[in-house]
Structure 1
Amino acid sequence: MPKLLAVLMSLALLLGIPAPVSAATVHTVTFVNQSGQTLWVGATVNADSSVNLSGLPTLASGQSATVTIPEGAWPYHWRGKFFGRQGCAGQSGSTFKCAVGDCGPWADRCSTGEQPTSLAEFNFDQNDGLAPWYNVSYVNAFSVPITIRANDAQGSPPECETMGCPENLLPYCPQVNKRVGTNGVTPYCLNLDRDHRTPYSDALSSRCPKAYAWSKQDAEQGNQTVRQCRNCSGFTVTFHAV
């Protein structure tokens, strides 16, 4: 059997199939809703991630729920983002629609890319010894404050630091960036130029330096936009009040 296993592993390498990482941690993400409103958790994945999440929770204010990241099977990584959809109504699968963060007609999953909203972004990769990587992004828009905290973390700062901030940044949104959702009442702040520093990014990053406010902020000297946590059981994503 050991000889056969060696042959199979050699064949897998020739075919470009990485060996499974059976001893690696499969992480969880816990969502905590402190926003003062009901949120429908949405998730979308990067192009190189094969598993779209379903069965995502709807959280009344004060509720929490946990999902397991599907990184323990092929392709042994999950790269994507989570967000809180706001002002949703309608029948799941047909008329369901959200005022902010809309991503298709399903209450428990996304079938399209998300409309601009605050994001909690992750790179879970069992073949990357530095992973998981994580960050809060307001690059497309700010809708609710988000923080990401590593659970059961074993690492010295800046590794495993809490990212994002609990502060409501809507009062600092430049007038030109102010928007309301499709329901006409849910406010958010839209970034009109995600690839350059602007009054939008300056206003947000000055009050929340541990979140992306424009796409190339991680290239700025001394930036605090992204972290990794090699030893943790998962993360807690908290949606704070606006």
Structure 2
Amino acid sequence: MATYNFIYFASASTVIFYNKCKHTVWPGIKPSAGEKLLAGGGFELPANKSHTIQLPPLWSGAFWGRHGCTFNKYGHGRCTTGDCGGYLSCNGSGGSPPATLAEFTLGPLDFYDVSLVDGYNMAISIKPVKGSGNCSYVGCVSDLNQMCPVGLQVMSRNGKRVVACKSACSVFKLPKYCCTGLFGNPISCKPTAYSKIFKTACPTAYSYAYDDPTSIFTCSKANYIVTFCSHHRR
């Protein structure tokens, strides 16, 4: 069992990335506009290893996992899923969908969520540590690649297995799936047959753009563990 040593700050949080996958993961980091870039935007995280980053006060942004990556000594290469322009250090670029996102907005009250709005490529969970308030464990720890509808599947290079599951928006590009146009509000944009598959498998994750009531969580003065391929809450 891994042991975590946290450093506590009055106005900043620490996030530990923990890889419980059987393979290496390359976490990507995308800060929101105007926010500080952390760890160059990406790094390598071998199986069963952890990596700690201090988040600046009031920071906001998203984390995701990349897999199947190959980089040369200059940090140039490509990932099977979650690629950010062919670089190890994403340098502010987001991951190419589909990718499961862990999103944070820090403040006196932190907001955090796991989002499948841009699709799914691997299980991710967020666990607050020693915060105050509701501070719920959240995540998508089901393997959605195994239940992904045929039309949304991303196959491996050899075509033998599903490595990611696209969002219906990215495939069909219709307003009812993308929550755009006449569907650009929470009243008209409702769950679809595709988003319901995601929601059933991962009840605490965002399954579509206006899935707020059951998908966004809050905590104060916490540190966080972001785990890849976690299939257990404890």
TM-score by length of 1: 0.76
Q: Which amino acid aligns with 1:114?
A: G
Give 1:177 shift.
0.6
Establish whether residue 170 from structure 1 lines up as the match of residue 156 from structure 2. no
Give 1:153 shift.
2.4
Alignment of 1:1-242 (within 5 A): 24-47=10-33, 49-55=34-40, 56-71=42-57, 77-91=58-72, 93=74, 95-116=76-97, 117-125=99-107, 129=108, 131-155=109-133, 159-180=134-155, 187-193=163-169, 194-195=178-179, 196=189, 197-218=191-212, 223-232=213-222, 234-240=223-229
Q: Which moved more, 1:102-111 or 1:171-180?
A: 102-111
Q: Which amino acid aligns with 1:100?
A: T
Aligned residues: 202
Give 1:107 shift.
1.8
Query: What is the rounded CA distance, in whole Å, between the counterparts of 2:70 and 2:158 in structure 1?
Result: 10
Q: Is the 8 A contact 2:124 2:230 kept in 1?
A: no
Give 1:186 shift.
6.3
Query: What is the rounded CA distance, in whole Å, between the counterparts of 1:146 and 1:94 in structure 2?
Result: 25
Q: Is the 8 A contact 1:92 1:106 kept in 2?
A: no
Query: What is the rounded CA distance, in whole Å, between the counterparts of 2:102 and 2:77 in structure 1?
Result: 23
Query: What is the rounded CA distance, in whole Å, between the counterparts of 2:211 and 2:199 in structure 1?
Result: 9
Cross-structure match for 2:186: none
Structure with max Cα Rg = 1
Give 1:187 shift.
0.9
Q: Is the 8 A contact 2:14 2:54 kept in 1?
A: yes
Q: Is the 8 A contact 2:76 2:88 kept in 1?
A: no
CA 1:108–1:46 in structure 2 vs 1: closer, same or farther (change >3 Å)? same
What SS is found at the alignment partner of 2:79? strand
Q: Which amino acid aligns with 2:104?
A: F
CA 1:112–1:206 in structure 2 vs 1: closer, same or farther (change >3 Å)? same
Query: What is the rounded CA distance, in whole Å, between the counterparts of 1:84 and 1:210 in structure 2?
Result: 19
Q: Deviations over 1:187-226 (max 9, x none)?
A: 10000324353332110101211000111111xxxx3201
What SS is found at the alignment partner of 2:53? strand
Give 1:58 shift.
1.2
Query: What is the rounded CA distance, in whole Å, between the counterparts of 2:104 and 2:56 in structure 1?
Result: 13
Query: What is the rounded CA distance, in whole Å, between the counterparts of 2:100 and 2:154 in structure 1?
Result: 14
Query: What is the rounded CA distance, in whole Å, between the counterparts of 1:214 and 1:190 in structure 2?
Result: 12
CA 1:32–1:183 in structure 2 vs 1: closer, same or farther (change >3 Å)? farther
Query: What is the rounded CA distance, in whole Å, between the counterparts of 2:18 and 2:78 in structure 1?
Result: 22
Query: What is the rounded CA distance, in whole Å, between the counterparts of 2:66 and 2:73 in structure 1?
Result: 14
Q: Structure 1, unaligned stretches of length 5 or more?
A: 1-22, 72-76
Query: What is the rounded CA distance, in whole Å, between the counterparts of 1:191 and 1:147 in structure 2?
Result: 19
What SS is found at the alignment partner of 1:142? coil
TM-score by length of 2: 0.78
Q: Which runs of 4+ in 1 moved over 4 A?
A: 181-186
Q: Structure 2, unaligned stretches of length 5 or more?
A: 1-8, 170-177, 180-188
Query: What is the rounded CA distance, in whole Å, between the counterparts of 2:167 and 2:116 in structure 1?
Result: 8
Q: Is the 8 A contact 1:35 1:240 kept in 2?
A: yes
